[in-house]
Structure formats: structure tokens, C-alpha cells
Amino acid sequence: MLIIGYMMTAIAAYFLGSIPTGFLVARAKGIDIRTVGSGNMGATNVFRTLGKPAGILVLAVDVLKGFVACQFLGWAAKQIFARSADPLVGENFVIIAGFCAILGHNYTCWLHFKGGKGIATSLGVLFALFGYAALLVIGVFILVAAVSRYVSLASVIAAIWLPVMVAILPHNGGQHYSGRLILVSLLMGGLAVYKHKPNIRRLLKGTERRIGEKTPPPPEDAQ
């Protein structure tokens, strides 16, 4: 029964995460976001190419995908399949839901398994799973972004710091996070860094766009 529950949770969370928010918002404006700017479907490229309102909408929805996956899908599955089981078994449902939502965002089945970098959806999962650690990770991101003016560099450094903070910070009642949650944070951080490989190459070459740099307007055939 638990195996069936895990599988159903994973599938539901994947499809929730796979909603290509950036692509849909841009398509509503007659633009294929994959052909403009960096070509990425995340909020950063939407901000640069379509403006703040569209970027904020994409960011908010992508964060919600991760948060809802953990707090509602994971919680509901826990109630259905593991109501009287060991609490750690219930925790598994929340972890599976969160991680599969990130995978859905990064590798959406609706666009040939090519998606975003997962930062915003990971942020929603972080809030659901780690609370204070998530706030500190955001603090690291803001600090690095403000100093360097590179969103990608801030994302990579925040991703690297995530498992460190989860490992050392206490949460409820001074307890430390379980080994499985530390492992999950390590996997999340590693996946975020992996998805930023093109950005890392551009950073090393000095060709990565900084915050505030203008993106060329979409070509006429993309509108």
C-alpha cells in the first residue's frame, strides 16, 4: 500500500511541477520564451523579456508549485496512506512530493522534458520543509545578487549553502533535521548547480548578463 502511495504522490507532484508557467505566460503574449533572452523559461528571463508583472507572476506560481506539492499533496497522501504509520514514513510523502515537483519543473513532459532551472520551485519546497533555513538561503541569495549583480551566481552559491545550513541549523525544539532531509537538501542544491552549467560557463567567460542589463526585444517572428 505504501509503495502505491509513494508512486501516486510522485506522479501527482511531477505533473503539478511540470506546468510550464513561464512558457504559458509568454505564449499568452504571443512570444515563445525559449527563443528570446537566455532561452530559459524561468522567472529571471521572463522579467528581462516581458517585464516585472509577468516575471512576478511566473515567480509566484513557480514557488507555489513546490510549496503546494509539499504542504497539500504530500500532506494529503500522508493522511490517506500513512495516517497510523511511523512519522518518518509520513515524512517520506512530503519529501517525495517536493522533490518530484522540482523534477517536473526542470524536465516538463509538456515541452520535450526541457524546463527551467528549478530555483523558484525549490524555494517553495524549502519553505515547506526547512522554514528558517530557507530564509537564510534567501538572505545569501540577496547578498550575493546585490554585490555581484548576477542572479545565476547568487543562485549557485545559495544552492551550495543550502545543505550546510540544513545540517547545522536546529528547528523544532532545538532538534536537528533528520539525515534524510539533509540528503534531500544536498540533492536539491546539487540539481540546482547542475542546471546552471550554461550560466557557470558564461560567468567564467564573462558573458553572463548582470541584473539590470537589457535583453534585446523579441524578434518579430517570435511575437
Amino acid of residue 40: N
* 3-class SS letters over 202-218: HHHHCCCCCCCCCCCCC
Residue 67 is placed in which grid cell? Answer: 510549496
Residue 117 is placed in which grid cell? Answer: 532551472
| pLDDT computed for residue 223 by the predictor | 37
Residues 106-159 pLDDT 10s: 999 999 999 999 999 999 999 999 888 888 999 999 999 999 999 999 999 999
| pLDDT computed for residue 197 by the predictor | 95
| pLDDT computed for residue 214 by the predictor | 60
Q: At what angle do helices 179-195 and 87-106 cross, to 10 degrees?
A: 0
DSSP 74: I
| pLDDT computed for residue 89 by the predictor | 83
Q: How many other C-beta atoms can be found within 10 angstroms of the C-beta atom of residue 78?
A: 21
Q: Which residues of the chain fall short of a pLDDT of 70?
A: 84-85, 172-173, 214-223
Residue ranges making up the domain that contains 126: 2-222
Amino acid of residue 178: S
Number of structural domains the chain divides into:
1
